[in-house]
Amino acid sequence: MKKNVLVLLVAMVMVLVTACGSNTNNQASTGNSDSNGGTSQDGNLKVILLIPGTLGDKSFFDAANNGLNKVKEELGAETKVVEMGTDKTKWEPTYNDIAAQDWDVVISGGSEITEMFNAVAEANPDKKFINYDTDIEEAPDNVYSMTYATNEVSFLAGAAAAYATQSDMEHANEDNVIGFVGGMDIPGINAFLVGYIQGAQYVDPDVKVAVSYAGDFVNPAKGKELSLIQYNSGVDIIFNVAGGTGLGIFDAAKEKKKYAIGVDSDQAMLLKDTDPEKANLIVTSAIKKIDSAILGAVKRLSEGTLEMGKRDILSFVEDGVGIAENEIYTAAFPEDVQAKIEEVKQKLINKEIKVDNAMGMETSEVEAIRNAVKP
Protein backbone atom coordinates (compact mmCIF):
# COMPACT_ATOMS: atom_id res chain seq x y z
CA MET A 1 0.00 0.00 0.00
CA LYS A 2 2.77 2.43 0.99
CA LYS A 3 4.58 1.56 -2.22
CA ASN A 4 1.51 2.45 -4.31
CA VAL A 5 1.09 5.77 -2.49
CA LEU A 6 4.74 6.62 -3.13
CA VAL A 7 4.40 5.90 -6.84
CA LEU A 8 1.29 8.06 -7.00
CA LEU A 9 3.06 10.98 -5.27
CA VAL A 10 6.02 10.80 -7.68
CA ALA A 11 3.67 10.84 -10.64
CA MET A 12 1.85 13.89 -9.30
CA VAL A 13 5.12 15.77 -8.81
CA MET A 14 6.19 15.01 -12.39
CA VAL A 15 2.88 16.37 -13.71
CA LEU A 16 3.30 19.58 -11.71
CA VAL A 17 6.89 20.08 -12.90
CA THR A 18 5.88 19.53 -16.53
CA ALA A 19 2.96 21.95 -16.22
CA CYS A 20 5.14 24.67 -14.65
CA GLY A 21 7.80 24.25 -17.31
CA SER A 22 5.23 24.46 -20.09
CA ASN A 23 3.71 27.62 -18.59
CA THR A 24 7.13 29.29 -18.33
CA ASN A 25 7.90 28.59 -21.99
CA ASN A 26 4.55 30.05 -23.06
CA GLN A 27 5.17 33.24 -21.10
CA ALA A 28 8.57 33.72 -22.76
CA SER A 29 7.22 33.37 -26.29
CA THR A 30 3.95 35.30 -26.23
CA GLY A 31 4.81 38.70 -24.74
CA ASN A 32 4.08 41.90 -26.62
CA SER A 33 7.78 42.45 -27.21
CA ASP A 34 11.07 40.87 -26.34
CA SER A 35 14.68 41.99 -26.12
CA ASN A 36 15.09 41.50 -29.86
CA GLY A 37 12.32 43.89 -30.76
CA GLY A 38 9.05 42.15 -30.32
CA THR A 39 5.98 40.99 -32.14
CA SER A 40 2.39 40.52 -31.06
CA GLN A 41 0.89 37.07 -30.50
CA ASP A 42 -0.20 36.67 -34.12
CA GLY A 43 3.32 37.45 -35.36
CA ASN A 44 2.52 40.95 -36.66
CA LEU A 45 3.86 44.06 -35.00
CA LYS A 46 1.34 46.40 -33.44
CA VAL A 47 2.60 49.95 -34.02
CA ILE A 48 1.01 53.20 -32.89
CA LEU A 49 2.00 56.78 -33.82
CA LEU A 50 1.21 59.65 -31.47
CA ILE A 51 1.15 63.12 -33.06
CA PRO A 52 1.80 66.01 -30.61
CA GLY A 53 -0.44 68.23 -32.69
CA THR A 54 -2.69 67.52 -35.66
CA LEU A 55 -2.23 66.11 -39.13
CA GLY A 56 -2.62 68.27 -42.22
CA ASP A 57 0.54 70.36 -41.95
CA LYS A 58 1.87 68.84 -45.19
CA SER A 59 5.20 68.76 -43.41
CA PHE A 60 6.56 67.26 -40.19
CA PHE A 61 3.50 65.41 -38.86
CA ASP A 62 2.22 64.29 -42.24
CA ALA A 63 5.67 62.88 -43.05
CA ALA A 64 5.54 60.78 -39.88
CA ASN A 65 2.08 59.51 -40.80
CA ASN A 66 3.39 58.56 -44.25
CA GLY A 67 6.06 56.55 -42.47
CA LEU A 68 3.40 54.73 -40.44
CA ASN A 69 1.50 53.94 -43.64
CA LYS A 70 4.67 52.44 -45.09
CA VAL A 71 5.09 50.32 -41.96
CA LYS A 72 1.59 48.95 -42.52
CA GLU A 73 2.00 48.41 -46.25
CA GLU A 74 5.52 46.99 -46.34
CA LEU A 75 5.75 45.17 -43.01
CA GLY A 76 2.14 44.09 -42.59
CA ALA A 77 1.93 45.70 -39.16
CA GLU A 78 -1.26 46.60 -37.37
CA THR A 79 -1.12 50.40 -37.08
CA LYS A 80 -2.98 53.35 -35.61
CA VAL A 81 -2.36 57.09 -35.50
CA VAL A 82 -3.56 59.34 -32.66
CA GLU A 83 -3.64 63.13 -32.96
CA MET A 84 -3.03 64.49 -29.46
CA GLY A 85 -3.84 68.09 -30.37
CA THR A 86 -2.12 71.26 -29.23
CA ASP A 87 -3.09 71.13 -25.53
CA LYS A 88 0.26 70.07 -24.08
CA THR A 89 -1.26 69.14 -20.72
CA LYS A 90 -2.94 66.18 -22.41
CA TRP A 91 0.18 64.73 -23.99
CA GLU A 92 1.73 62.88 -21.06
CA PRO A 93 -1.56 61.30 -19.91
CA THR A 94 -2.11 60.13 -23.49
CA TYR A 95 1.37 58.59 -23.65
CA ASN A 96 0.68 56.77 -20.37
CA ASP A 97 -2.69 55.51 -21.57
CA ILE A 98 -1.24 54.20 -24.82
CA ALA A 99 1.73 52.57 -23.07
CA ALA A 100 -0.73 50.62 -20.92
CA GLN A 101 -2.42 49.22 -24.03
CA ASP A 102 -1.39 46.26 -26.16
CA TRP A 103 1.07 47.96 -28.54
CA ASP A 104 4.51 46.58 -29.36
CA VAL A 105 5.96 49.86 -30.62
CA VAL A 106 5.03 53.41 -29.61
CA ILE A 107 6.24 56.16 -31.96
CA SER A 108 6.23 59.92 -31.48
CA GLY A 109 8.53 62.79 -32.34
CA GLY A 110 9.90 66.14 -31.29
CA SER A 111 12.29 67.58 -28.75
CA GLU A 112 9.34 69.12 -26.91
CA ILE A 113 7.92 65.70 -26.04
CA THR A 114 11.20 63.90 -25.42
CA GLU A 115 11.43 64.29 -21.65
CA MET A 116 7.91 62.98 -20.99
CA PHE A 117 8.24 60.34 -23.73
CA ASN A 118 11.42 58.99 -22.15
CA ALA A 119 9.80 58.99 -18.70
CA VAL A 120 6.88 56.92 -19.98
CA ALA A 121 9.31 54.55 -21.69
CA GLU A 122 11.25 54.04 -18.47
CA ALA A 123 8.00 53.19 -16.69
CA ASN A 124 7.17 50.61 -19.37
CA PRO A 125 10.37 48.62 -19.98
CA ASP A 126 8.48 45.82 -21.74
CA LYS A 127 7.56 48.14 -24.64
CA LYS A 128 9.68 49.62 -27.40
CA PHE A 129 9.57 53.35 -28.15
CA ILE A 130 10.81 55.30 -31.19
CA ASN A 131 11.32 59.08 -31.19
CA TYR A 132 11.58 60.02 -34.86
CA ASP A 133 13.11 63.46 -34.32
CA THR A 134 14.72 64.91 -31.21
CA ASP A 135 17.60 67.19 -30.35
CA ILE A 136 18.13 65.38 -27.04
CA GLU A 137 20.85 62.76 -27.19
CA GLU A 138 20.04 60.70 -24.09
CA ALA A 139 17.58 57.82 -24.43
CA PRO A 140 16.46 55.01 -22.10
CA ASP A 141 17.36 51.42 -22.95
CA ASN A 142 14.01 50.78 -24.65
CA VAL A 143 14.02 53.96 -26.76
CA TYR A 144 15.57 54.49 -30.18
CA SER A 145 15.69 58.11 -31.29
CA MET A 146 16.72 59.97 -34.40
CA THR A 147 17.63 63.42 -35.52
CA TYR A 148 18.58 64.83 -38.90
CA ALA A 149 21.45 66.90 -40.24
CA THR A 150 19.16 69.88 -40.73
CA ASN A 151 22.12 72.25 -40.76
CA GLU A 152 23.52 70.46 -43.81
CA VAL A 153 20.30 70.23 -45.82
CA SER A 154 19.56 73.87 -44.95
CA PHE A 155 23.03 74.82 -46.21
CA LEU A 156 22.03 73.36 -49.57
CA ALA A 157 18.67 75.14 -49.43
CA GLY A 158 20.50 78.40 -48.71
CA ALA A 159 22.79 77.84 -51.67
CA ALA A 160 19.76 77.20 -53.88
CA ALA A 161 18.08 80.38 -52.60
CA ALA A 162 21.18 82.46 -53.29
CA TYR A 163 21.50 81.04 -56.79
CA ALA A 164 17.80 81.78 -57.37
CA THR A 165 17.89 85.40 -56.22
CA GLN A 166 20.90 86.25 -58.39
CA SER A 167 19.51 84.43 -61.43
CA ASP A 168 17.26 85.38 -64.33
CA MET A 169 14.46 83.16 -63.00
CA GLU A 170 11.02 84.60 -63.74
CA HIS A 171 10.13 85.80 -60.23
CA ALA A 172 13.61 86.76 -59.00
CA ASN A 173 14.56 90.41 -58.52
CA GLU A 174 17.83 92.33 -58.29
CA ASP A 175 17.74 93.07 -54.54
CA ASN A 176 19.90 90.08 -53.51
CA VAL A 177 17.78 89.45 -50.39
CA ILE A 178 16.38 86.07 -49.36
CA GLY A 179 14.03 85.26 -46.48
CA PHE A 180 13.50 82.84 -43.61
CA VAL A 181 10.36 82.32 -41.52
CA GLY A 182 10.70 80.05 -38.50
CA GLY A 183 8.05 78.74 -36.14
CA MET A 184 9.92 79.78 -33.01
CA ASP A 185 13.26 81.25 -32.00
CA ILE A 186 14.58 77.97 -30.58
CA PRO A 187 17.74 75.91 -31.22
CA GLY A 188 16.00 73.33 -33.42
CA ILE A 189 14.72 76.03 -35.78
CA ASN A 190 17.94 78.04 -35.64
CA ALA A 191 19.84 74.94 -36.76
CA PHE A 192 18.01 75.40 -40.05
CA LEU A 193 18.65 79.15 -40.03
CA VAL A 194 22.41 79.01 -39.46
CA GLY A 195 22.85 76.38 -42.17
CA TYR A 196 20.67 78.40 -44.54
CA ILE A 197 22.68 81.58 -43.99
CA GLN A 198 26.01 79.80 -44.41
CA GLY A 199 24.83 78.09 -47.59
CA ALA A 200 23.70 81.39 -49.07
CA GLN A 201 26.98 83.08 -48.13
CA TYR A 202 28.91 80.19 -49.66
CA VAL A 203 27.40 81.24 -52.99
CA ASP A 204 27.44 85.00 -52.37
CA PRO A 205 29.13 86.53 -49.29
CA ASP A 206 27.14 89.73 -49.82
CA VAL A 207 23.66 88.16 -49.74
CA LYS A 208 21.22 89.48 -47.13
CA VAL A 209 18.74 87.35 -45.19
CA ALA A 210 15.50 88.64 -43.67
CA VAL A 211 14.53 86.55 -40.62
CA SER A 212 11.14 86.33 -38.89
CA TYR A 213 9.68 84.03 -36.22
CA ALA A 214 5.96 83.40 -35.90
CA GLY A 215 6.03 82.21 -32.30
CA ASP A 216 3.70 79.40 -33.35
CA PHE A 217 3.71 76.27 -35.51
CA VAL A 218 -0.04 76.17 -36.20
CA ASN A 219 -0.88 79.71 -37.33
CA PRO A 220 -0.95 80.03 -41.15
CA ALA A 221 -2.38 83.55 -40.92
CA LYS A 222 0.71 84.70 -39.00
CA GLY A 223 2.94 82.93 -41.49
CA LYS A 224 1.29 84.78 -44.36
CA GLU A 225 1.51 88.13 -42.55
CA LEU A 226 5.25 87.80 -41.91
CA SER A 227 5.91 86.58 -45.43
CA LEU A 228 4.04 89.44 -47.06
CA ILE A 229 6.18 91.86 -45.06
CA GLN A 230 9.32 90.15 -46.34
CA TYR A 231 8.18 89.93 -49.96
CA ASN A 232 7.12 93.59 -49.91
CA SER A 233 10.57 94.56 -48.59
CA GLY A 234 12.39 93.00 -51.56
CA VAL A 235 12.73 89.32 -50.64
CA ASP A 236 12.06 87.04 -53.61
CA ILE A 237 12.37 83.61 -51.97
CA ILE A 238 11.50 82.48 -48.41
CA PHE A 239 12.54 79.31 -46.59
CA ASN A 240 9.62 77.89 -44.60
CA VAL A 241 10.65 76.30 -41.28
CA ALA A 242 7.38 76.81 -39.45
CA GLY A 243 5.29 73.63 -39.60
CA GLY A 244 1.60 74.34 -40.21
CA THR A 245 2.29 78.08 -39.90
CA GLY A 246 4.35 77.72 -43.06
CA LEU A 247 1.26 77.03 -45.15
CA GLY A 248 0.66 80.79 -44.91
CA ILE A 249 4.07 81.40 -46.48
CA PHE A 250 2.88 79.62 -49.59
CA ASP A 251 -0.33 81.68 -49.60
CA ALA A 252 1.81 84.84 -49.58
CA ALA A 253 4.09 83.48 -52.30
CA LYS A 254 1.09 82.85 -54.52
CA GLU A 255 -0.34 86.31 -53.84
CA LYS A 256 2.95 88.12 -54.55
CA LYS A 257 4.19 85.77 -57.29
CA LYS A 258 7.40 85.03 -55.40
CA TYR A 259 9.32 81.85 -54.59
CA ALA A 260 9.35 79.66 -51.50
CA ILE A 261 11.31 76.68 -50.20
CA GLY A 262 9.45 73.96 -48.32
CA VAL A 263 10.56 71.91 -45.34
CA ASP A 264 10.47 68.35 -43.99
CA SER A 265 8.43 66.97 -46.93
CA ASP A 266 8.34 67.65 -50.66
CA GLN A 267 5.72 70.33 -50.13
CA ALA A 268 5.33 71.25 -53.79
CA MET A 269 4.22 67.73 -54.65
CA LEU A 270 1.80 67.71 -51.71
CA LEU A 271 0.11 70.83 -53.11
CA LYS A 272 0.45 70.07 -56.80
CA ASP A 273 -2.99 68.52 -57.32
CA THR A 274 -4.98 70.94 -55.15
CA ASP A 275 -3.20 74.21 -56.00
CA PRO A 276 -0.75 73.88 -58.89
CA GLU A 277 -0.13 77.64 -59.08
CA LYS A 278 1.08 77.66 -55.49
CA ALA A 279 3.04 74.43 -55.91
CA ASN A 280 4.95 75.81 -58.90
CA LEU A 281 6.39 78.56 -56.69
CA ILE A 282 7.84 76.08 -54.17
CA VAL A 283 11.01 75.52 -56.15
CA THR A 284 12.48 72.94 -53.76
CA SER A 285 12.13 71.65 -50.20
CA ALA A 286 14.66 70.79 -47.51
CA ILE A 287 13.51 67.29 -46.69
CA LYS A 288 13.92 65.25 -43.55
CA LYS A 289 13.19 61.75 -44.80
CA ILE A 290 11.07 61.00 -41.75
CA ASP A 291 8.88 58.46 -43.50
CA SER A 292 11.83 56.35 -44.62
CA ALA A 293 13.51 56.73 -41.23
CA ILE A 294 10.44 55.43 -39.39
CA LEU A 295 10.05 52.51 -41.78
CA GLY A 296 13.74 51.61 -41.49
CA ALA A 297 13.70 51.77 -37.69
CA VAL A 298 10.61 49.58 -37.33
CA LYS A 299 11.96 47.11 -39.89
CA ARG A 300 15.24 46.75 -38.00
CA LEU A 301 13.31 46.44 -34.75
CA SER A 302 11.24 43.58 -36.17
CA GLU A 303 14.44 41.88 -37.31
CA GLY A 304 16.10 42.33 -33.92
CA THR A 305 18.90 44.51 -35.32
CA LEU A 306 17.85 47.94 -34.03
CA GLU A 307 20.22 49.25 -31.37
CA MET A 308 18.09 50.70 -28.61
CA GLY A 309 19.13 53.29 -26.04
CA LYS A 310 20.81 55.59 -28.56
CA ARG A 311 20.21 58.43 -30.99
CA ASP A 312 21.35 58.40 -34.61
CA ILE A 313 22.04 61.52 -36.68
CA LEU A 314 20.82 61.02 -40.26
CA SER A 315 22.67 63.08 -42.88
CA PHE A 316 23.14 63.05 -46.65
CA VAL A 317 25.43 60.04 -46.23
CA GLU A 318 22.65 57.96 -44.62
CA ASP A 319 20.09 59.36 -47.09
CA GLY A 320 18.33 60.92 -44.12
CA VAL A 321 18.03 64.37 -45.68
CA GLY A 322 17.90 65.86 -49.15
CA ILE A 323 16.35 68.57 -51.27
CA ALA A 324 13.39 68.04 -53.58
CA GLU A 325 14.58 67.70 -57.16
CA ASN A 326 11.19 67.21 -58.75
CA GLU A 327 9.71 68.46 -62.01
CA ILE A 328 9.09 71.91 -60.51
CA TYR A 329 12.73 72.15 -59.42
CA THR A 330 14.03 71.17 -62.85
CA ALA A 331 11.66 73.60 -64.58
CA ALA A 332 12.47 76.52 -62.27
CA PHE A 333 16.26 76.32 -62.02
CA PRO A 334 18.39 76.63 -65.17
CA GLU A 335 20.51 73.56 -65.91
CA ASP A 336 23.75 75.31 -65.05
CA VAL A 337 22.35 76.30 -61.64
CA GLN A 338 21.18 72.74 -61.03
CA ALA A 339 24.72 71.59 -61.74
CA LYS A 340 26.12 74.08 -59.22
CA ILE A 341 23.64 72.94 -56.56
CA GLU A 342 24.62 69.32 -57.23
CA GLU A 343 28.28 70.24 -56.81
CA VAL A 344 27.55 71.76 -53.40
CA LYS A 345 25.59 68.64 -52.40
CA GLN A 346 28.48 66.36 -53.32
CA LYS A 347 30.86 68.47 -51.27
CA LEU A 348 28.53 68.11 -48.30
CA ILE A 349 28.38 64.34 -48.80
CA ASN A 350 32.17 64.17 -49.04
CA LYS A 351 32.53 66.35 -45.93
CA GLU A 352 34.46 68.97 -47.90
CA ILE A 353 32.16 71.61 -46.43
CA LYS A 354 31.76 71.98 -42.68
CA VAL A 355 28.47 73.49 -41.56
CA ASP A 356 28.04 75.02 -38.11
CA ASN A 357 25.20 73.79 -35.93
CA ALA A 358 23.13 76.17 -33.83
CA MET A 359 22.37 73.33 -31.41
CA GLY A 360 25.74 73.95 -29.78
CA MET A 361 25.65 77.73 -29.94
CA GLU A 362 24.93 80.40 -27.36
CA THR A 363 21.94 82.64 -28.06
CA SER A 364 24.31 85.56 -28.58
CA GLU A 365 26.16 83.65 -31.31
CA VAL A 366 22.96 82.99 -33.25
CA GLU A 367 21.94 86.62 -32.84
CA ALA A 368 25.29 87.78 -34.21
CA ILE A 369 24.89 85.56 -37.28
CA ARG A 370 21.40 86.94 -37.90
CA ASN A 371 22.50 90.54 -37.48
CA ALA A 372 25.46 90.10 -39.83
CA VAL A 373 23.14 89.37 -42.77
CA LYS A 374 20.24 91.62 -41.80
CA PRO A 375 19.01 93.69 -44.79
Q: Convert the pLDDT of each residue in 176-202 to its tens digit.
A: 999 999 999 999 999 999 999 999 999
- Does the pLDDT of residue 354 top 60, yes or no? yes
- Does the pLDDT of residue 10 top 70, yes or no? no
What percent of the chain is predicted at pLDDT more than 90? 87
Residue 137 neighbours by CB under 8 Å, 6+ apart: 311
Give me the mean pLDDT over the 309-332 stretch.
97
Enclosing H/E stretch for 48: strand 46-51
Summarised one tens digit per residue, pLDDT across range 78-127 is: 999 999 999 999 999 999 999 999 999 999 999 899 999 999 999 999 99
Q: What's the confidence (pLDDT) of residue 2?
A: 37
Give me the mean pLDDT over the 327-336 stretch.
97
For residue 360, name the pLDDT band (cuts at 50, 70, 90): confident
The total number of residues shown for the chain amounts to 375
For residue 305, name the pLDDT band (cuts at 50, 70, 90): very high
How far apart, in whole angstroms, are the C-alpha atoms of residue 355 and residue 345? 12
- Does the pLDDT of residue 38 top 90, yes or no? no
Looking at residue 321, its amino acid is V
Q: What's the confidence (pLDDT) of residue 43?
A: 67
Q: What's the confidence (pLDDT) of residue 42?
A: 56
Give me the mean pLDDT over the 328-342 stretch.
97
- Does the pLDDT of residue 33 top 90, yes or no? no
Note whether 151 and 356 are within 8 A (CB). Answer: yes
- Compute the half-sphere exposure of residue 38: CA atoms within 13 Å on the CB side of its CA: 22
What percent of the chain is predicted at pLDDT more than 70? 89
Give me the mean pLDDT over the 248-252 stretch.
99
- For residue 189, give Cα distances in angstroms to 44, 111, 192, 197: 37, 11, 5, 13
Q: Mind listing the domains of the chain with CATH numbers?
A: 46-148 (3.40.50.2300), 150-287+321-372 (3.40.50.2300)
Q: What is the average pLDDT value for the chain, to the nearest integer?
A: 90
The β-bridge partners of 161 are: none
Q: What's CA 38's distance to the chain center, in Å?
A: 24
- Does the pLDDT of residue 18 top 60, yes or no? no
Q: What's the confidence (pLDDT) of residue 155?
A: 99
Give me the mean pLDDT over the 226-245 stretch.
98
- Compute the half-sphere exposure of residue 286: CA atoms within 13 Å on the CB side of its CA: 33
